[in-house]
Each structure stands twice: as structure tokens, then as C-alpha cells.
């Protein structure tokens, strides 16, 4: 009598249940090494199952080496199977935090998904699937779908005047992924990376996780202050957002761009240009990427997360030739390649200029919302605030001179149903931007923006920061 209980309603076959029960008895030591198992006939009778069912269980136990069977003798438990039972699972259930309801979230970097042409995208997916060659269901290499790379090159030319060969474009699973792989190439041994300060904490986290040693370089309202670079000639790369500095919003002026390129050349380092949202410029004129000034020194990181949707997980890097072989090797051993379907749909989205149209539409939407936000701030705070940076993107940095916003303020806002980020939380060196807040508005309807500003003004009024 082994005490096996079978559940005849289980999804698991009876033979599998017998097998598992016997295995557990052997591993826990209740069936000891050398002990004889009951014959298949006996056990079948005891459990009221067919003898075949028991045979299947025994066969697997023999195949896996739990049981040794010898012609004419009964099957016996193998040696050395017993292992200590586990302590009761140490995985505590997550405490269900009392979720506070947020009535307005000024989170940054969120496009408005309600405006995405969902039906059109479905048609593109459908069409793309029909046309996908069977080979694309197999491994097709680390660089990405060639049609998509050709369309990205054409799009960069017509929207930014950027001339780039599709062979130099490498599809990624988004900007973060692009930066992760770039860091693998550039700072294997924990080398220094120069980084704008303040910067995007997500991107910072990516570089820190790669073991890079981060050197903060201060930013003003026109981007990175290149005058501070000369101290760090022994670095391996510099990360910048020249088209629309995150989070302060400046456009890097031409003279600083020239300094940056010269500095990179003289000290043999690479510039990582993150162009995360510059599709959305409201003064109407697109900024030329730094990449165009030196395609051998600049690694351009682009993404479709803002222009299409975040969960698409398609971006790209434009790589100097000398890094391409290493990239291919690293990508192959990292996550192999992107899946093909969304790449093909995106290629069609670009080829038919539907992306251009969507971006144009959203530019108008975001521009109007920006105006709503600035008007509401004017109404609530009179002239006691200054909007930072240029008219672009999905957020704005707002300076309230004399104020000081930190974690306590953020928490206070959350308690009042408002999510807003003090700019200090994006700073490596603390204390230089305490009077600024980051307000993301792209995803919010005008009324939500106005309500958010009223809420913000109430909180500021009632507290003393």
C-alpha cells in the first residue's frame, strides 16, 4: 500500500499521476533505495486502473533512471535519489497595496493612444501577414527586415534631410534595447560614459545596469554644456539628446555640436545620439540630427514608441561601419532578432506615408494641448513660472522660481490624486533644479490638463515648499 491517490477528473493522465506520486515517494525517501516496487499487476489492482496504465508510469520511471528493472525480478528504487524536502515556499504573496486613485497623471513620454489609427494598423498587419514569405518565419538574421530598413532610410531623408544607407540601419526592440546593446559594445570593462545631467532615468538605469561608470555633465536651457567636456578625455562615449534635451527641452546649438564632434574625434570616443521624440516639433522645423555631422562617430538611436505606440517595441540604431560586425554578433547572442510581422506592417505604414500623416495629425493635437497647458499655468500662477526648453515633445519643464520640489512634494501630490515629477528626480547631482517640475501632457485631453493644473495650484498654495 503506497498511499497513492488518483484524481479521475484531473487534466493529467492517470499514468502520469501514478508516475508523479511514485517519484515524490522516492525523492522524499518514503520509498528507499533498493526497495522493491509492487508488481504492475498488484498496483493496477490496488488503484483500480488497467495494468497498461501502471506500465506506462513504470516505463517512464525506468527511462528516467528512478527505477531499475531486471528481467524476472521486481523493479527496485535506484540509489541516491533522496533529497531534503524543500522548506515551505518562501514566496510571500504580494501585499495588495491600497491603490490610491490618480485623477490626473502628468507622466512624461506617453503618446495619446486613443488617436492611434487602430483599424488602419489592423489592415496593415493583415496585408503584411499575407505577404510574409515563409522564410521569415525562420531565423532571418540580426539586422532586421530589409524592406523596413529601406523605408526608415527614405523617411529619415524626407522628414529630416538625413542621408543614410539602409545597410547602416539596425532594427532594435526600441530605444532602450538599442542603448543596452550599444553599451555592450562601448563599455565592456566599466568604462566612463559621459551623460547629460539631468537625463532620462530609464536610460541612465540601462547604462548603470551594464556596469558603466557615469560622469554627469551639466545641462542648461540649450542642452549639454560642452565647456565641461575637456576634463573627461578618457571616456568611451557620451550620451546626448541634442534635438530636444530630456528633460529640460533645449536644442543643442550648432557651435556646441561642433565642439562635441571635435571632442569625440580628438579623444576617439563615440557619441550616442538619442532622438526620442523630435518628430513632435511645434515650430514646424525639424532639427537635423547630430549624426549628419559625422556618421563615423555618432550612433543614432531612434524609436517608434512615440510616433506609433510604445508596446510596438520597434526602434533602430544607425551604426558606424566599424561597429556593425560586433553588433551583429552581440544581437545574435542576446535575443537573436525582432519578430517579422510588426516590422512588415511598419514598413507599409511608412511606405504609404500613413505614418507621416499620423505624425502630422498628432503634432497638431499635442501643440494644442501644449497651449492649453501653458494657458492654464498662466491662469493659475500668473507670471510666477517659466516654461523651459523649446516647443517640442510630449512634456514641458516648468520653473517656479523660489520654490523647492522634492520627494515630499511628489508624495503630497499623489495623496491628492495628482502624479507629477519634480525635475530633481532626473538629476545625478542634486540641488540645481529644485524649483522645476516636469509636466507630461501628450496623453491628456484638454480638460484633464486644466484640472491637473488647478489641482497642482491648490496643492502648492496649501503647502509651503
According to CB under 8 A, which residues from 413 to 452 bind a second copy?
A: none
From the list 236, 246, 242, 244, the residue with the least C-alpha distance to 202 is 246
| Chain residues 335-364 in contact with a second copy, contact rule CB under 8 A | 335-342
Angle, helix 175-186 to helix 321-332, in steps of 10 degrees: 110
Tell me whether residue 211 or residue 378 sits nearer to a second copy (CB atom). 211
Does 173 bind a second copy (CB under 8 A)? Our answer is yes
Beta carbons within 8 Å of 401's beta carbon, 6+ residues apart: 384, 385, 386, 435
Tell me whether residue 15 or residue 400 sits nearer to a second copy (CB atom). 15
Tell me whether residue 53 or residue 435 sits nearer to a second copy (CB atom). 53
Does 65 bind a second copy (CB under 8 A)? Our answer is yes
Residue 69 to residue 439: CA distance in whole angstroms: 72
Residue 70 to residue 51: CA distance in whole angstroms: 19
Residue 261 to residue 297: CA distance in whole angstroms: 8
Task: Give the total of residues touching a second copy (CB under 8 A).
Answer: 103
Q: Which of 168, 274, 279, 424 binds a second copy (CB under 8 A)?
A: 168
Does 125 bind a second copy (CB under 8 A)? Our answer is yes
Only one of the segments 97-105, 129-137, 379-387, 423-431 lies at the binding site for a second copy (rule: CB under 8 A); that segment is 129-137
Does 99 bind a second copy (CB under 8 A)? Our answer is no
Does 302 bind a second copy (CB under 8 A)? Our answer is no
DSSP assignment of 18-61: HHHHHHHHHHTTSSPTTPBPPPHHHHHHHHTS-HHHHHHHHHHH
| Chain residues 201-240 in contact with a second copy, contact rule CB under 8 A | 202, 205-206, 209, 211, 222
Does 295 bind a second copy (CB under 8 A)? Our answer is yes
Instruction: For residue 436, list its beta bridge partners.
Output: 399
Provide the minimum distance between the beta carbon of 346 and a second copy in the complex, in angstroms, as a whole number.
11
Q: Which of 137, 233, 234, 407 binds a second copy (CB under 8 A)?
A: 137
Instruction: For residue 395, list its beta bridge partners.
Output: 440
DSSP 3-state assignment of 290? helix
Query: What's the CA dihedral at 317, 319, 323, 324 to 10 degrees?
Result: 80
Angle, helix 146-160 to helix 354-381, in steps of 10 degrees: 50
Beta carbons within 8 Å of 20's beta carbon, 6+ residues apart: 12
| Chain residues 19-48 in contact with a second copy, contact rule CB under 8 A | 19-20, 23, 26-27
Does 138 bind a second copy (CB under 8 A)? Our answer is yes
Tell me whether residue 37 or residue 380 sits nearer to a second copy (CB atom). 37
Q: Which of 228, 262, 328, 363 binds a second copy (CB under 8 A)?
A: 262
Tell me whether residue 66 or residue 400 sits nearer to a second copy (CB atom). 66
Tell me whether residue 255 or residue 415 sits nearer to a second copy (CB atom). 255
Does 123 bind a second copy (CB under 8 A)? Our answer is no
Query: What's the CA dihedral at 265, 270, 272, 278 to 10 degrees?
Result: 20
Helix ranges (DSSP H) in 232-339: 254-266, 321-332
Q: Which of 174, 249, 393, 452 binds a second copy (CB under 8 A)?
A: 174
From the list 424, 422, 412, 417, the residue with the least C-alpha distance to 451 is 417
Does 141 bind a second copy (CB under 8 A)? Our answer is no
Does 66 bind a second copy (CB under 8 A)? Our answer is yes
| Chain residues 381-400 in contact with a second copy, contact rule CB under 8 A | 390
Q: Would you give the DSSP letter of residue 312?
A: G
| Chain residues 264-283 in contact with a second copy, contact rule CB under 8 A | 265, 283
Does 301 bind a second copy (CB under 8 A)? Our answer is no
Provide the minimum distance between the beta carbon of 166 and a second copy in the complex, in angstroms, as a whole number.
13
Q: Which of 36, 227, 258, 408 binds a second copy (CB under 8 A)?
A: 258
- What are the φ and ψ backbone dihedral angles of 287, each rounded to 5 degrees? -85, 140
Residue 44 to residue 48: CA distance in whole angstroms: 6
Does 129 bind a second copy (CB under 8 A)? Our answer is yes
Contact 240, 179 (CB under 8 A): no
Tell me whether residue 18 or residue 456 sits nearer to a second copy (CB atom). 18
Only one of the segments 1-9, 127-135, 428-436, 449-457 lies at the binding site for a second copy (rule: CB under 8 A); that segment is 127-135
Beta carbons within 8 Å of 234's beta carbon, 6+ residues apart: 192, 267
Contact 410, 75 (CB under 8 A): no
Provide the minimum distance between the beta carbon of 236 and a second copy in the complex, in angstroms, as a whole number.
16
Does 244 bind a second copy (CB under 8 A)? Our answer is no
Amino acid at each position: 500500500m503506497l498511499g497513492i491517490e488518483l484524481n479521475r477528473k484531473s487534466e493529467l493522465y492517470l499514468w502520469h499521476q501514478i508516475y508523479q506520486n511514485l517519484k515524490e515517494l522516492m525523492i522524499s525517501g518514503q520509498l528507499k533505495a533498493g526497495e522493491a516496487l509492487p508488481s504492475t499487476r498488484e498496483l493496477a489492482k490496488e488503484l483500480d486502473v488497467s495494468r497498461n496504465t501502471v506500465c506506462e508510469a513504470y516505463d517512464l520511471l525506468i527511462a528516467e533512471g528512478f527505477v531499475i528493472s531486471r528481467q524476472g525480478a521486481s523493479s527496485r528504487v535506484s540509489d541516491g535519489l533522496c533529497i531534503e524536502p524543500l522548506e515551505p515556499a518562501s514566496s510571500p504573496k504580494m501585499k495588495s497595496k491600497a491603490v490610491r486613485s490618480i485623477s490626473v497623471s502628468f507622466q512624461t513620454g506617453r503618446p495619446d493612444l486613443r488617436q492611434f489609427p487602430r483599424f488602419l494598423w489592423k489592415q496593415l498587419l493583415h496585408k503584411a501577414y499575407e505577404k510574409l514569405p515563409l522564410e521569415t518565419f525562420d531565423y532571418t538574421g540580426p539586422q532586421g527586415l530589409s524592406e523596413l530598413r529601406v523605408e526608415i532610410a527614405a523617411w529619415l531623408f524626407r522628414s529630416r534631410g538625413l542621408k543614410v544607407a539602409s545597410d547602416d540601419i539596425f532594427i532594435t526592440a526600441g530605444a532602450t534595447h538599442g542603448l543596452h546593446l550599444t553599451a555592450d559594445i562601448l563599455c565592456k570593462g566599466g568604462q566612463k560614459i559621459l551623460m547629460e545631467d539631468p537625463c532620462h532615468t530609464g536610460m541612465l538605469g540601462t547604462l548603470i545596469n551594464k556596469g558603466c561608470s557615469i560622469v554627469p555633465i551639466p545641462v542648461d536651457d540649450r542642452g549639454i554644456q560642452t565647456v565641461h567636456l575637456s576634463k573627461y578625455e578618457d571616456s568611451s562615449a557620451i550620451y546626448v539628446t541634442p534635438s530636444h534635451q530630456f528633460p529640460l527641452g533645449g536644442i543643442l546649438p550648432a557651435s556646441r555640436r561642433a565642439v562635441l564632434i571635435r571632442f569625440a574625434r580628438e579623444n576617439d570616443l563615440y557619441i550616442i545620439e538619442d532622438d526620442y521624440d523630435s518628430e513632435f516639433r511645434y515650430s514646424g522645423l525639424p532639427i537635423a540630427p547630430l549624426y549628419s555631422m559625422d556618421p563615423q562617430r555618432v550612433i543614432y538611436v531612434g524609436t517608434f514608441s512615440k510616433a506609433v505606440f510604445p508596446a510596438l517595441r520597434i526602434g533602430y540604431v544607425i551604426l558606424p561601419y566599424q561597429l556593425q560586425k560586433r553588433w551583429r554578433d552581440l544581437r545574435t547572442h542576446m535575443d537573436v532578432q525582432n519578430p517579422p510581422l510588426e516590422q512588415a506592417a511598419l514598413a507599409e505604414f511608412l511606405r504609404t506615408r500613413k505614418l507621416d500623416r499620423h505624425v502630422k495629425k498628432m503634432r497638431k493635437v499635442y501643440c494644442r494641448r501644449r497651449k492649453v497647458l501653458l494657458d492654464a499655468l498662466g491662469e493659475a500662477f500668473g507670471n510666477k513660472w517659466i516654461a523651459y526648453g523649446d516647443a517640442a515633445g510630449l512634456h514641458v519643464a516648468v520653473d517656479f522660481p523660489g520654490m523647492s520640489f522634492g520627494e515630499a512634494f511628489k508624495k503630497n501630490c499623489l495623496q491628492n490624486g495628482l502624479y507629477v515629477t519634480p525635475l530633481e528626480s532626473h538629476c545625478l547631482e542634486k540641488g540645481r533644479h529644485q524649483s522645476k517640475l516636469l509636466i507630461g501632457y501628450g496623453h491628456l485631453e484638454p480638460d484633464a490638463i486644466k484640472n491637473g493644473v488647478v489641482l497642482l495650484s491648490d496643492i502648492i498654495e496649501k503647502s509651503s515648499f
